[in-house]
């Protein structure tokens, strides 16, 4: 049994944080599923930007979309849905075998809608319907403005990957929105089993404080935030409120550790995989991190439901002058802005491809 299989056996799902047409058509993703126990996939505007910009594999699809009169966002979602549907079909056997616990793929709504709950909900419902796959999660930002869209999407039966969460408090706010949607479905006599994950970004914490804390604290904040959020997650699913929903047929919204590629070249390239080996969760890995863990990783001790030493470590950062609440808000704002920038870059790449194809 290799390291990825061992971690899966221990109760944590490993998802790939990448998608390209070559990954799908070459058999590489299927090999990751078969050999490395990869059981889901996430995408975002940056991933699609890099995939389309660096490849001619999308030219035929762009040409077909142009002939159908598509441009801009409409053209992008046409070709993105082709990749997402193909990935969803690869993971469908896992989704069926686990009765919807695993085997999910994720597609993000336009980040330009991050502050518009109504438009976010409308686009989320449309994308899910167009894909026509039960194992598609629509990514909705967990910003204050996004929380109503999360609740309404769950109530409408649209599976949701809540993204851009950075702190235990932000996670709990998103979980509250999800649970309200579930409870409303129960009250309305609807099936409350609507898939969802809550994506907590890890590595950006360490990047943000690297030059501002003592050497003994470098590369420890992301893990501490993740572990504290895990404790909050386990407390939630042990609560009487959640158990009532579970008894009515709901399934947990799993905590997902995102942004788990190590940014510091002096640190272990599997730092956030081994340090956040936690049952009942998902870790979505960049392709390089997945390969590194499969090559030389080893699951560390499983994280306990109490979050281990997280409270002690977070207290050390506060004593070092780090305002964790303010930094969480800053990271969420910066993350939203970065996705908007990537979205504009992505649309620029699509426009350039379009111009090149039309010119040819």
344 contacts: CB under 8 Å, gap ≥ 6: none
State mean pLDDT over 256-262. 97
Active-site residues: which are they?
Answer: 139
Residue 199 has pLDDT above 80, yes or no: yes
d(CA 192, CA 26): 38
Q: Find the domain containing 88 and state its range.
A: 3-359
Q: What is the pLDDT of residue 144?
A: 92
Q: What is the pLDDT of residue 216?
A: 96
pLDDT tens per residue across span 141-154: 999 999 999 999 99
Q: What is the pLDDT of residue 352?
A: 85
pTM: 0.96
- Higher pLDDT: 218 or 64? It is 218
Nearest partner of 139 among 237, 20, 42, judged by Cα: 42
Under a CB-based contact definition with an 8 Å cutoff, are residues 181 and 152 in contact? yes
Neighbouring CB atoms inside 10 A of 22's CB total 12
- Higher pLDDT: 76 or 132? It is 132
Which residue has tokens 């305002």? 323
State mean pLDDT over 28-56. 92
> Where residue 91 sits, what CATH number does that domain have?
3.20.20.70
pLDDT tens per residue across span 97-136: 999 999 999 999 998 888 788 899 999 999 999 999 999 9
Mean pLDDT, rounded, of the chain: 94
Residue 213 has pLDDT above 80, yes or no: yes
d(CA 251, CA 272): 26
Residue 358 has pLDDT above 80, yes or no: no
Q: Structurally, how many domains does the chain consist of?
A: 1
Integer angstrom CA distances of residue 243 from 179, 237, 238, 239, 253: 11, 7, 7, 6, 13
Outline where DSSP puts E strands in 144-212. 160-165, 196-201
- DSSP for 41-81, please give it: EE--HHHHHHHHHT-STTHHHHHHHHHTT--HHHHHHHHHH
State mean pLDDT over 314-340. 96
Q: What is the pLDDT of residue 360?
A: 63
State mean pLDDT over 236-249. 97
**Structural tokens at position 25:** 């058509």
Residue 54 has pLDDT above 80, yes or no: no
Q: What is the pLDDT of residue 174?
A: 98
């Amino acid at each position: 049994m290799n390291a990825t299989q061992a971690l899966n056996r221990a109760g944590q799902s490993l998802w790939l944080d990448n998608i390209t047409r070559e990954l799908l058509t070459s058999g590489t993703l299927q090999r990751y599923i078969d050999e490395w126990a990869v059981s889901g996939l996430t995408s975002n505007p940056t991933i699609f930007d890099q995939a389309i910009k660096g490849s001619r594999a999308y030219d035929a699809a762009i040409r077909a979309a142009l002939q159908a009169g598509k441009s801009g966002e409409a053209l992008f979602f046409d070709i993105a849905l082709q990749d997402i549907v193909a990935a969803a079909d690869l993971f469908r056997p896992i989704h069926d075998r686990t009765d919807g616990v695993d085997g999910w793929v994720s597609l993000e709504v336009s980040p330009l809608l991050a502050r518009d709950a109504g438009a976010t909900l409308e686009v989320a419902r449309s994308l899910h319907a167009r894909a026509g796959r039960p194992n598609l999660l629509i990514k909705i930002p967990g910003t204050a403005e996004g929380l109503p869209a999360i609740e309404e999407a769950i109530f409408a039966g649209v599976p949701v990957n809540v993204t851009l969460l950075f702190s235990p408090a932000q996670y709990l706010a998103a979980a509250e929105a999800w649970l309200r949607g579930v409870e409303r479905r129960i009250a309305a006599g609807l099936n409350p089993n609507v898939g969802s994950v809550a994506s907590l970004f890890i590595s950006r914490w360490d990047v943000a404080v690297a030059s501002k804390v003592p050497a003994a604290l470098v590369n420890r904040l992301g893990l501490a935030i993740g572990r504290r959020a895990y404790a909050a997650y386990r407390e939630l699913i042990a609560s009487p409120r959640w158990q009532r929903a579970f008894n009515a047929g709901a399934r947990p919204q799993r905590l997902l550790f995102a942004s788990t590629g190590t940014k510091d070249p002096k640190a272990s390239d599997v730092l956030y995989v081994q340090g956040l080996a936690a049952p009942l969760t998902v870790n979505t890995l960049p392709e390089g991190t997945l390969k590194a863990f499969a090559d030389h990783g080893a699951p560390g001790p499983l994280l306990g439901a109490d979050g281990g030493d997280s409270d002690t470590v977070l207290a050390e950062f506060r004593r070092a002058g780090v305002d964790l609440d303010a930094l969480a808000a800053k990271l969420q704002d910066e993350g939203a802005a970065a996705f908007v920038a990537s979205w504009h870059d992505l649309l620029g790449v699509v426009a350039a491809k379009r111009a090149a194809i039309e010119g040819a």
